[in-house]
Homo-oligomer: A and B are copies of this chain.
Amino acid sequence: MLPLSDDFAREMPHEECGIVGVYNHPEAAKLAYLGLYALQHRGQESAGIVSSDGERLYSHKAAGLVADVFNEKNLATLQGDCAIGHVRYSTTGSSISANAQPILANYKGGTLSLAHNGNITNADELRAELEERGAIFQTTTDTEILVHMIAQAGARNFDEALFLSLMRLKGAYSLVVLRPDGLLALKDPRGFRPLCLGKLGDGYVVASESCAFDIMNAQYLRELTPGEVIAFRGGAARSSKPFPAADQSFCIFEYIYFSRPDSMALTRSVAELRTRLGAQLAEEQPADADIVIAVPDSSTSAAIGYSQQSGIPYAIGLVRSHYVGRTFIEPDQNIRDFGARVKYNPVRSVLQDKRVVVVDDSIVRGTTSRKIVNLLRSAGAREIHFRVSAPPWKNPCYFGIDTPEPSKLIGATARDNDEIRKFVGADTLGFISVEGLQKVMPKTQGYCMACFTGEYPDGQRPSGEFTKDILESGKRHG
């Protein structure tokens, strides 16, 4: 039995979370649920909502998809007009339920709930320090570290405790914080991960992506700025910037791959940006071909852009199954490239004897790309020109994307692009350049492109191995 979502999933980088917050709306939990549904692509492992009626907090979270975790009955228990929510992707099986967010805890300052998207790069060090002072850890999440820091901060009030704690965090964090007296939404000083603000009736909403607002029929206002903290209390929203100024390092991969095409990338849509990336790719890496096809669905915009720029007609050469995501029983007599075949079906009559440009949005390990090339060849494609709307991925991410070890990144291990081409089995292979990428991206903000360039913001590369691995295998269960 092969869980399809895991099959290809392994191949692609993973976002760890999507978060949402609803302030001052009579159906706060239901709206948070709608928002999480729209953010489902950011995490399929667990989902949770904590709501507040001004006195108590109410929680429901479990492993599974948003539509499975929540129902009329448990949504009804999530009382009050404020709520925060979270969807999570993670890698370990056993910790699914324990690590589900939002985290909910009592401490001397009262009750507190947090949901987090990002990765704290000095988590290991902070955790050790907290343990030294007697803290116990029941999850492997960074979020629990922050709650401990707040509880031990010895501050005069909650806001002070929170900011004293945040000052010590390194890395990426977009956060929503719920207490009986209100809701806070904030971004780390470099603004690695997205978080945007919207308006709904008399209240406000925040979410990792603006597509969450569309389903609620909320109005998109803007992206939070790096280091911005918005406190929703007493019916009003107040913005502050308590952190020292820092260069912005918005994750470029949000635009290239993670975000839904209908979400906003600053003033444009992600779909529009990707179309431009495809056009730039066509300029840099032309091909003599008959058709341009996409690896659906995330590369579709880039493929359209490539087609428009190059004048080579766009066609549907791979059809994606709509029912993927369930476990799937494979015959004993293995079917060649079964995992790929269940997900994608090549359209023979479109591909037969054609010189094909296939546009994908990234190559991580290269094995998926190889299977796709196989499928296309088996469907009769004469030439395959593989084009990638991102530069080669050479470096691990420490800011919230779950990447394979560097030794498994074909961009890092291959001697040159021709070695990648051979592995993948394409006739030609071309990546967009880092310069080309920069040229396309809106200049109004700064980006983290460390995965491509190795230039980590502030040199925030942890000294040792992956933070995630350290926490989980080195310490956790034994």
Contact = CB atoms under 8 A, between A and B. Distances in A.
A279 B190 CA distance: 48
Nearest to A320: B297
Given A260-B345, A314-B314, 6 more contacts: A33-B329, A107-B134, A214-B346, A264-B349, A271-B347, A304-B314
A261 B331 contact: no
Interface string A214-228: 111100100000000
B108 A93 contact: no
Contact of A94 (B77, B107, B134, B272): B77
Contact of A268 (B137, B271, B349): B349
B135 A134 contact: yes
Interface stretch (A10-18, A97-105, A398-406, A457-465): A97-105
A58 interface: yes
Interface string A40-63: 110000000000110111111110
B67 A319 contact: no
A136 B33 contact: no
A138 B313 contact: no
A110 interface: yes
Interface in A146-185: 147-148, 151-152, 154, 180
Contacts of A98: 59, 104
Interface stretch (A334-342, A408-416, A445-453): A334-342
B215 A37 contact: no
Interface in A259-307: 260-262, 264, 267-269, 271-272, 275, 297, 300-301, 304
Contact of A55 (B58, B267, B478): B478
Given A138-B105, A478-B180, A316 B261 contact: yes
A231 interface: no
Nearest to A29: B331
Contacts of A346: 214, 262
A315 interface: yes
A252 interface: no
Interface string A56-89: 1111111001111011100101000000000000
Contacts of A347: 261-262, 269, 271-272
A328 interface: yes
Most chain B CB neighbours (cut-off 10 Å) among A108, A152, A267:
A108
Contact of A217 (B59, B65, B133, B336): B336
A67 B350 contact: no
A308 to B, nearest CB: 6
A328 B131 CA distance: 41
23 contacts: A27-B333, A30-B329, A33-B329, A55-B478, A59-B94, A65-B323, A65-B326, A70-B329, A72-B329, A77-B93, A98-B104, A106-B475, A108-B128, A108-B132, A131-B151, A134-B134, A261-B316, A262-B346, A264-B348, A269-B348, A269-B349, A272-B350, A314-B314
Given A151-B134, A315-B275, A331-B30, A52 B478 contact: yes
A111 B328 CA distance: 31
A4 to B, nearest CB: 9
A329 B78 CA distance: 14
Given A136-B107, A136-B148, A347-B262, A316 B300 contact: yes
A449 to B, nearest CB: 23
Contact of A105 (B137, B147, B261): B137
Interface string A360-401: 000000000000000000000000000000000000000000
A133 B342 CA distance: 48
A40 B262 contact: no
Most chain B CB neighbours (cut-off 10 Å) among A65, A138, A272, A297:
A138
A34 to B, nearest CB: 7
B72 A319 contact: no
A331 B40 contact: no
B62 A27 contact: no
A26 interface: yes
A332 interface: yes
A327 interface: yes
A103 B137 CA distance: 11
A186 interface: no
A350 B131 contact: no
Contacts of A105: 136-138
A336 B218 CA distance: 11
